Structure 1
Amino acid sequence: MTMLALPDALAWSEWHARHPSRLISEKECERFLTYAGPLAGRTAVDLGCGTGQWTRQLVRWGMRATGYDYSSGALEQAHKLVVGHPRLTFARWDITAEEIPTDIQPGQVDLVTCRLSLAYLDWGRLLTDVARWLCPGGRFYALTPVESAGGEAGRDPYRRGLATQQLDHLVHVKGWLHAHEWHASLGLRGVMLHGPRGPVREK
């Protein structure tokens, strides 16, 4: 199988400058809110936030949210769209290569989200970290494109998704009280994991 090279931070910045973010649909919001539990006054971490569209939506629901991305260009756009909001921050972080920010403390986060960026991360390792960050009853939400079978050659590196088998593994990872999965829209799947109850590991 030919592995698709991942864009670097500069390439992502150039891409974000030319392409609008995927819109947040009413259907996505409805499904998310069905499984997310109470949000107002709680703390969220948004991984791979891009220009911050989803991070801002979390704040509209009353959360305190921090969006992390490794594209300086995307974060520059995010900062321009919202200036000085008391419950919203953005920070640069290369999740795959750098240490976890000190702002993320174990057991202090109510919700971690990863919208359209999970396929670029080592999600097995990520879930182990997320389980440590979440407080009791915390949740992890991911929205990801679904890749067709046949390998990675020729795919658009800026719209990468997970294979169906990978999503099945994700939903059945041990260590969570509940898992929900749904078809969000054409080519997209949503996942919500509830309440880590111990070390997270694959079956």
Structure 2
Amino acid sequence: MIINDFATAEYWNRAYKKGRTDRIVTPLETELFRYYVKAVPGMVAVDIGCGTGAWSRALASMGLSVTGYDISDVAVAEASSLSSGHNNLRFAQWDVNGDSIPPYLAPRSVDIITCRLTAAFLDRQRFLADAVRWLTPDGVVHIVTPVHEQLSANGLNMDGLTEREISQLGEGWKEVSRYNVAVDGSTTAVLLQYRA
């Protein structure tokens, strides 16, 4: 299923071949994640839409066992080459919107699922239904997204979710919380826990 023109491997392969890079992971973003998610070394994490792996590497540096997935095989190759020093980190190409689920994502096998700046490109209904099955009983989904209304007000042209779409992320989840990743409110994080 194609969510928009930017949700194809061909588009992202071209972008990464032309030098696209991930948005820098700031110390504030990392500290907020640690505070809200309560991640501890040894937990299993999956990074959906990992790009060239900047956020995946940040998670691995926290001691998490991380698999980064991206639709672009060009991004996955670059992420792998940039991450050779991490034994607890691997990458794989996967179209979360269209491909079958990788065997690594077995039911109740993942403590943390992250989706940093990629929710606008996902079939969110399918993704979140799958995430419920992958999570351990105390597992969490951590979604970071630009806020469309804030971007428009600041004249920025980035893909983000509207406030309505952000509020819909929590439908059907037992625990939902949210915090701002950017001081100006242009980027927000949503935490979802199902607690089966």
Q: Where on the TM-score scale, by shorter chain, does this alignment land: which range?
A: 0.7 to 0.9
Divergent runs of 4+, >2 A: 3-8, 83-86
State, as a whole percentage, how many aligned pairs show the same letter.
Answer: 34
- Work out the number of aligned pairs and report it: 187
2:176 to 163, 175, 179: 179
TM-score by length of 2: 0.87
For the pair 1:118 / 2:119, whether they are aligned, the reply is yes
Cα shift readout 1:19-49 (whole Å, capped 9, x = no counterpart): 3311111221122111112320110011000
Question: What are the residue-to-residue correspondences of 1:136-155 with 2, within 5 Å?
Answer: 136-148=137-149
SS in 1 for 2:96: coil
3-state DSSP of counterpart to 2:169: helix
Is the contact between residue 97 and residue 127 of structure 2 (CA under 8 Å) also seen in structure 1? no
**Counterpart check, 1:10 vs 2:10:** yes
User: Which runs of structure 2 are paired with 1:7-46 in the superposition (5 Å)?
Assistant: 7-17=7-17, 18-46=19-47
Amino acid at match of 1:5: D
* CA apart distance, 1:79: 1.2
Q: Distance in 1 between matches of 2:22 and 2:98?
A: 24
Instruction: Please identify, of 77-86 and 59-68, the stretch whose mean Cα deviation from structure 2 is larger.
Output: 77-86
Q: Does 1:69 align with 2:67?
A: no
1:139-179 CA deviation, whole Å, 9 max, x = no partner?
Answer: 11010111139x9xxx95xx4111111101113x1232x21
Query: Larger relative CO (CA 8 A, sep 6+): 1 or 2?
Result: 1
Q: Kindly indicate which of the two structures has a greater share of residues assigned to strand.
A: 1
CA contact (8 A) 2:6 2:12 kept: no
SS of 1:197 mapped into structure 2: coil
Q: Within 5 A, what are the aligned runs for 1:155-170?
A: 159-170=158-169
Give the C-alpha shift of residue 4 in structure 1. Answer: 5.1
The equivalent of 1:193 in structure 2 is: 192
Give the gaps of 5 or more residues in structure 2. none
Which structure 1 segments of 5+ residues have no match?
Answer: 199-203
Match of 2:99, as an amino acid? E
Shift of 1:83: 2.2
**Given residue 168 of structure 1, which amino acid in structure 2 is its aligned partner?**
S
Cα offset, 1:84, TM superposition = 6.4
Superposition deviation, residue 16 in structure 1 = 2.4
**Closer, same or farther: CA 137–73 of 1 in aligned 2, 3 Å:** same
RMSD across aligned positions (CA): 2.1
Q: Give the secondary-structure state (helix, strand or coil) at the position aligned to 1:179.
A: strand
Using the size of structure 1 for normalisation, the TM-score is 0.85
- How far off is 1:89 after superposition? 0.6
